[in-house]
Chain A
Amino acid sequence: MEVCVHCDEAAVPPIYQKDDVTLAKPFCCEGCLTVYHVLHQKGLESYYEIKNNSSIFKRRSPVEIKSSQFSFLDDDEFIKEYTYLNATGARTMEFYLEGIHCLACLWLIEKLPEFVPGVVSSKLDLDRSVVTVIIEGEGKFSQVAREFNQLGYRPHPLKRNQDAADLRVKEERLALTRIGVAGAAAGNIMIYAVSLYGGAAGEFAQLFNSLTVAFAVPVLTFCSYPFYQNAWNALRNKTLSIDIPISISLLIGAVMGVYNLILGIPDNYFDSLTTLVFLLLMSRYFLQKIQEKGLSASDLHFFYQSESVLRATDSSLNEFIEVHPRFVKAEDVLKIRPGEFFPADGVVLKGTSNLNNSLLTGESFPVKVEAGDKVFSGTQNLTHDLVMKAVNASDSSRLGQLLKNVENGWAHRSKIVNLTNIVSKYFTLAVFILSTILFIYLYQTHDLKHALEGAITLLIVTCPCALALAVPLTFTRALSKASEQGIIIKSDEVIEKLAKVRNVFIDKTGTITYGKLKVTNFKVIRESKLRVQDIILNLEGRTRHPVARALLDHIKDQHAQALPVEDFKEVLGVGVSGTIERSFYEIRKAGIFENGELVCTFDVQDTVRSDSQDALKKLSQLGIEVTMLSGDKKEVVQSIARDVALPLENALHELSPEDKSRLIKNASHSMMIGDGANDAIALSHAEVGVAVMGAMDISLRAADVYLTTPGLIPVEKLVVLSQETMKVIRRNLVLSLLYNSVSVACAFLGIINPLIAAIIMPVSSLTILFSTLVRTTKSRNLWKS
C-alpha cells in the first residue's frame, strides 16, 4: 500500500505529481500535493528530510486547504482586540495551528521570518500547538495566516490577554525561583546539620548552627510564602486546608530555632523543615504543570467562532468581505459557504441547501432549508451557498445563550471538599489535643520549660509532610498516565469525582455513533450497463450532500472510472440524476435507478461506533447505570439502543439541551459524555463532563475531561484509573498518618530530637513516593493489553 509523502496516511487511490513522472511520489489528496509544491517553491524541501528522521508524536491527517484570504485579520477592530503592541512598535499575535505533529513542523514554522516579509519572529510551543508571531512595519497578519494555511496548518487566531499571560509567566518563574532557593538552602543546611549530628562541638557547633538558621530564613519566609497565604485564606473563609498544619509547624519551628540560637543551644529542625518545603513546592509545581497541558480554558474561549464568514458590503449582494464571527452584528447580510458554521441566528434570503443540525439538536439526518427559513448559530451549512440576514448575533444568538447557560452551570457547580482537607481537619484537631495533653502531663511531672518544649516539639514533628506530598504526587502520576493515553483531565478534583460516578449519561449522535452517515445493506438487485460504482462516482461526485459522501465513501476502494455526464440535475430533498452513455440514471433515497428501473438498494444511517457496545457493557460491569440521551427521533434512538444492547427505558429521545441538563441535575454522582453544542449545558451541569474526540469547541469548554482518541473505551479506563488512584491516595494517607503516630509516640516517650525527626521525615516521604510509583496491580495493567 502506498503512503502519502506529505501526511503519511494511506493513499487510496494515490495521486501523483504531474510534472515529474520518473520521480513521481504518491499523495493521498490534492491538499497534501499542493503543500508539497509550495514547500518546493519556497526552498523548504528540507521539511521532508527532517520529518523522515524524526519521530512523530501526533498523528496527522490529510491537509485541507481553506480558500479563505484571512483579510479580516487586518481589520483595525480585530487587531485592537486580538493583538498586542510591543514597546518597540511590533505587534504580537497568537495562533492555534491545526496539524502540528512533528519536529519538521517546528522547523517549518520557525523559518517563517525568512520567507514572509515583515515577520520578526515566529516561535512555536509544541505542547500547545500555539505559535506566537511578531510582525513589524509592512508585515500583515493576513499574509502570515495565508502562509500557515498554504503550508497545511489551519490557523485559528487566539485572543491574547496580555496582562493575564504576563502575570501567569511571572508567577511561574517565581514558583521556580522558590523551588531553586529552597533546594539549595535545604542541601546546604543538611551539610551543617550532619556535622552537628556527627558531634561538632564548641565554637564550630555555634558557627554551624548559625549557618543553618541563616539558610533557613529565606526558605521559611520567601519560599514558604504560598503556604502561609493559603492557610490564611482558608482561615479567613472558615474552610480547612492542609496548609494550616504545615504553616503552624513551619512557624513554630522557626521561632524555636531562632530562640535556641540566641540561647546558644545547637538544636533545631531546619534540616527536616526546609527539605519538606522543597519537596512540597516541587510536587505542587508538577501537578500544576500537568494540568496546564493542552489549551487552557481561556484559550478555548473564542475558539468555537474562529472561522471567518463573508459579509455583504452593498445591497446588491455582489461584493463580500471576510469578517470574523466575533464581529458579526444583527442586520448583517452574510454569505455562508458549504462547510461553514452559521455565526448568528437569522433568516435565509437566497439559496437552498442542506444543514447539519446535529450539533444543536442531535438530529443525525440533514435538513433542507430555503429562502425564508430560519437558521440558527451553531448549525453547519453542507451543500450550497446561502445568503442570510443575521437577526440575533453573538450573545443573543442560540449559541450565545447556550454559552451563557454553560457558564451558569460552571458557577453553580458544587465544589467538593476533597479528601485531604477532610483528613487535615481531624489531623489538626488531633495534633492540638495531643500537644495540650503532653503539655499538661509534662507540666505536672516536670516544669513549665519542659512542658513548653515538649508541646512545641510535638507541633513541629507532626508536620503532615508525607500527607501533603502524597496527594499531589498521586494526582500528577494519574494525570500524566491519562494524558499519555490521550485523555486530558482539566483538574485533579475531577479524579475524586470520577471515582464516585454512579450514573453515566451518554449523548447519541457523534458519541455512541460516528455522527456521520454510512451506507448499510448495499444490495445490487440487477446487472446494469454501467457498473454501480461508476454511476455513483459520476453522479454523486458532483454534490456535497452527506448521502453522496457516504455513497462515495462506500465505493472508495473499488476503482470507479470517471465518465462524461449530460443533463446533470440535483433536486434537494429528492436526489440526483443525469445521462451517462445514453442511459438515464437516478440516485434517490430508495436506491439507484437505470432508465427508471431499480438496480440497487441501500440504506443510509448514522452507525454505531465499533467499540460502543463493548464500552457500555464494561461501564455497567463497574456498577454504573448508563442512560442514552438524544434529541433525535424515537425510532432512530431505539434502533441504536438495540444495536448497543441498552434497555429501551434507558434510551431517551427528543430531548432539548435544557431537558438533558435537567435530567442530569436530578441524578447524583453523574457523568455526562457528549460532543455537540446541545450537550454543552449538560456537560457543565454534570459532576463530571467528558467531551469526546471531534467534540465541538463549546463542549470542550464545558467539559472537565476531553478525549483525544476516538471511541468510548477510554471512558471506562478513565473511571477505573480514578478509582485506583483514589485507592492509592487512601493508602498514602494511612501510611503518612502511621509515620506521624510514630513521631507522636516518640514525643510522648521524650525521646524525640532533631536527628530522629530527620530520619522519620525522609523515610516517610520515600515510602509515599514508592507507594505512588507502584500504584495498584489493576492500574498498572490498565493500558497493557
Chain B
Amino acid sequence: MEIIIVLLPLALLLGATFVGAFIWSARKGQYDDLETPKFRMLLEDKQLKTRKDGK
C-alpha cells in the first residue's frame, strides 16, 4: 500500500492540471460562443484570389 504515497499526489496533480486548464480556457472566452466555432473550423483558410485594394 506504500505506493499510494506516490499515486495519490500524482492523481491530485493530474486533476489539478485539468481543472487549471478548464479555468484558463473559460477565462479566455473559449466557451462564449458555442455555436459558431464548430462551423468556422470547417472553412478553409484560403486568401482571396483577387483583391481590389492590392494590399
Q: Which residue of A lies closest to B40 (CB)?
A: A106
Contact B52 A115 (CB under 8 A): yes
Bound: A188/B9 CA distance, A: 13
A191 to B50, CA, bound (A): 60
Please state if A127 and B26 are interface contacts (CB–CB under 8 Å): no
Cα A44 to Cα B19 in complex, Å, equals: 43
A44 to B23, CA, bound (A): 39
B19 touches A115 (CB 8 A): no
Return B6 CB to nearest CB of chain A, in Å.
14
A181 to B26, CA, bound (A): 12
Looking at the assembled complex, report how far the CB atom of A725 sits from the nearest CB atom of chain B, in whole angstroms. 24
Within 8 A of A (CB), among B30-44: 31-33, 35-36, 39-40, 42-43
Within 8 A of B (CB), among A180-212: 180-181, 184, 188, 191, 204, 207
**A42 contacts which chain B residues (CB < 8 A)?**
48, 50, 52
Contact (Cβ within 8 A) B48 A177? no
Any B CB within 8 A of the CB of A645 = no
Known contacts A42-B52, A114-B48, A126-B35: does B19 contact A184 (CB below 8 Å)? yes
User: Residue-by-residue, is A111-139 near B (CB-CB < 8 Å gives 1, otherwise 0)?
Assistant: 10011010000011111000000000000
State how many angstroms separate the Cβ of B24 from the closest Cβ of chain A. Answer: 10
The interface residues of chain B, by DSSP majority, are classed as: loop
Which A residues are in CB contact (< 8 Å) with B49?
43
Residues A125 and B43 in contact in the complex (CB < 8 Å), given A44-B48, A177-B23, A184-B18: no
CA–CA, A117 to B51, complex, Å?
11
- Which among A124, A126, A181, A191 has the highest number of chain B CB atoms within 10 Å? A126
One of B36, B47, B53 near A106 (C-beta < 8 A)? B36
Q: Is the CB of A180 within 8 A of B22?
A: yes
- Name which residue of chain A comes closest to B31, CB basis: A176
Give the CA-CA distance A446 to B38 in the complex, in Å: 62
Cα separation A184 to B13 with both chains bound (whole Å) = 12
A173 touches B26 (CB 8 A): yes
Size category of the A interface is 20 to 34
- 8 Å CB contact of A114 from B1, B42, B51: B51
* Contact indicator B19/A103 (Cβ below 8 Å): no
Using A114-B47, A180-B22 as known contacts, say yes or no to A106 and B39 having CB atoms under 8 A apart. Answer: yes
Nearest B residue to A184, CB-CB: B19
For A173, the chain B residues whose CB sits under 8 A away are 26-27, 29, 31-32
Smallest beta-carbon distance A176→chain B, Å: 5
B53 to chain A, nearest CB (A): 5
> How far in angstroms is the closest Cβ of chain B from A709?
20
Distance of B3 from chain A, by nearest CB (Å): 12
| CA gap between A176 and B32 in the complex, in Å | 10
Residues of chain B lying within 8 A (CB to CB) of residue A103: 39, 42-43
- Sampled A-B contacts (7; CB under 8 Å): A43-B49, A103-B42, A106-B36, A126-B36, A177-B22, A180-B22, A188-B15
Q: Which 5 A-B pairs have the closest CB atoms?
A: A43-B50, A180-B22, A127-B35, A43-B49, A176-B26
Q: A42-B50, A184-B19 are in contact. List 12 more A-B contacts (CB 8 A).
A: A43-B48, A43-B50, A103-B42, A106-B43, A125-B35, A127-B36, A173-B27, A176-B31, A177-B26, A180-B23, A180-B26, A181-B23
